Structure 1
Amino acid sequence: MGSATTQALVATTSAIGAASGLTLDVAGELFVAARALADSPQLSGALTDDTASLQARDAVVTQVFGSVFAPQTVALLQVAAEQRWSSVDDFVDAVEELAIRVAAVADTGDLENELFGVLHAIAGNPELELALGSRLGDASAKGALVDRLLDGRAGAGARLVASAVVQRPRERRVRQLLERAIRIVSSQRGRIVATVRTAAPLNDHQRARLTDTLSRRYGTAVALNLIVDPAVVGGLRIEIGDDVIDATVASRLSDLRQRLAG
């Protein structure tokens, strides 16, 4: 990510905080805009042309989206178009990120945990993951498939985000798309994600205690992505960004074997 994109993301993210009336419908429109921009190099190029004035880029947004999208959606797209981006791809990704962040604001439920559930369900079904990640097949059909699978199992926000991100794979696996979405949701809500692997499920008390311990250690709220993995044998393994806390029996046994072999 270039420095221009880094600064542009700060500006677009700040625009969400200053906006009012953000709904899941606005998030849905931003997802539609991201797909339209990805499918039209001419449009995305016009909105990232640094030689064009801000007024000219705003006018393009209004002309293309003004008659079909809510004013809040158009305003956020104009903020994004007014920034300087390191690449056209960064701009398109940023519009999708705007959509995810708006969903995080509009959805008052436990969006992160619901997306974790989607992630684990897809990871546990190789055929489904292969179908969603294949280059073949209509993108909208993949989105509709995810939406149907989640009907009654997840809230509107999780269904919207999950069905939208699988429609723009960008050479990434479905799990990577969902992991990115979860990180963005956590960021918008002022949290970081901790992926925790344990041999057996944690009870409510253990989850609360671990969340409190990690929050105090990192100085910010933490969202737990809990994965039951019998391979850890006992204890737990925690990954937060580049940090890894490995307190599993499996790792201790591995260390012991290496020492004995040495």
Structure 2
Amino acid sequence: MGSATTQALAASAAVLDKQRVGAATARDLFAAARAVAGSPQLSGALADRTTAPDARAALVGAVFGKLSAGARNVVTAVVSQRWSDTTDLVDALEELAIRAAAKAEKTADLSGELFGVSRVIASNPELELALGSTLGDPAAKVALVEKLLSGRVSDATLLIVSELVRELRGRRLRGLLNHVIRVVAAQADRTVATVTTARPLTDEQADRLTASLARRYGGQIALNQIIDADVVGGIRVQIADDIIDGSISSRLTDLRQRLAG
């Protein structure tokens, strides 16, 4: 991500944070992202640095006049920024839609729900192919997501996953879900920690680990667990690019490498 895009995304997110948003705002922002992604002419015009910001804002009003006021304000903020690449503008609209969905959902653990969805997909190659294929009908993918998730996750998670499979734009679904989990956690001022163990942590163990990670990294921690018998014992924790590996399997591998050396 270029420095211009980093600054533009931060400024646009600040505008979103000032809006009163609901599920309709998120849906409108997803619709705007689809429209811009689907039209090279529109995306080029909205990202054109040689055009005055006021002119780009006027184009938003003409094209997206039926959007809710909050969504239109966010789209206007996005096109007023300078982006490193046209694709970054589309990605930003999608990320802001995800953030709006997370902001509108006050009670559900969205990062936990999305993590659960990613694990189900990871464990089912046929499902991953059905949802992640570039050849699949978007409407059929959305219908499959609704069939699998309706009544099992929050409306916000259902909306996010449905929109992701509708508009993959060449991206791998599991990798995209991992990114979205971090976005949702960040919107709630949390840091995602993925913990891999041979057996599920008890509530007390999870609380102690969460508190320890919070002291180390600062802020709140969203803890996601993966059960993997190959870990043997101990735990492996990943936060962004940091890996804390205290598993027995890792120690045995290290020992074998030392002996071989």
Counterpart of 2:200 in 1: which secondary structure?
coil
What's the counterpart of residue 254 of structure 2? 255
Q: Which runs of 5+ in 2 are unaligned?
A: none
Counterpart of 2:246 in 1: which secondary structure?
strand
Shift of 1:229: 0.7
What's the counterpart of residue 90 of structure 2? 92
Amino acid at match of 1:16: L
Shift of 1:10: 1.0
Counterpart of 1:166 in 2: which secondary structure?
helix
| Structure 2 Cα separation of the partners of residues 221 and 259 of structure 1 | 38
What's the counterpart of residue 245 of structure 2? 246
What's the counterpart of residue 104 of structure 2? 106
| Structure 1 Cα separation of the partners of residues 62 and 147 of structure 2 | 34
TM-score (norm 2): 0.97
Q: Tell me if structure 2 keeps the 8 A contact 1:192–1:221.
A: yes
What's the counterpart of residue 76 of structure 1? 74
Q: Which runs of 4+ in 1 moved over 4 A?
A: none
Deviation per CA, 1:150-185, whole angstroms, max 9, x where unpaired? 011101011011111122223221111111111101
What's the counterpart of residue 15 of structure 2? 15
TM-score (norm 1): 0.96
| Structure 2 Cα separation of the partners of residues 111 and 37 of structure 1 | 26
Q: Tell me if structure 2 keeps the 8 A contact 1:166–1:177.
A: no
Shift of 1:79: 0.5
State the Cα RMSD in Å.
Answer: 1.1
Residue 6 (1) aligns with residue 6 (2): yes
Superposed counterparts of 1:1-262, under 5 Å: 1-20=1-20, 22-67=21-66, 69-108=67-106, 109-262=108-261
Deviation per CA, 1:236-256, whole angstroms, max 9, x where unpaired? 101111111000010111122
Amino acid at match of 2:17: G
Shift of 1:142: 1.3
Deviation per CA, 1:203-262, whole angstroms, max 9, x where unpaired? 211111111110011112111121001110111101111111000010111122222323
| Structure 1 Cα separation of the partners of residues 176 and 166 of structure 2 | 10
Moved more, 134-143 or 236-245: 134-143
Deviation per CA, 1:44-96, whole angstroms, max 9, x where unpaired? 111111121222111111111112x1111111100001111111100000000
**What fraction of aligned residue pairs are identical, expressed as a percent?**
54
Query: How many residues in Structure 1 have an aligned counterpart in Structure 2?
Result: 260
Moved more, 169-178 or 228-237: 169-178
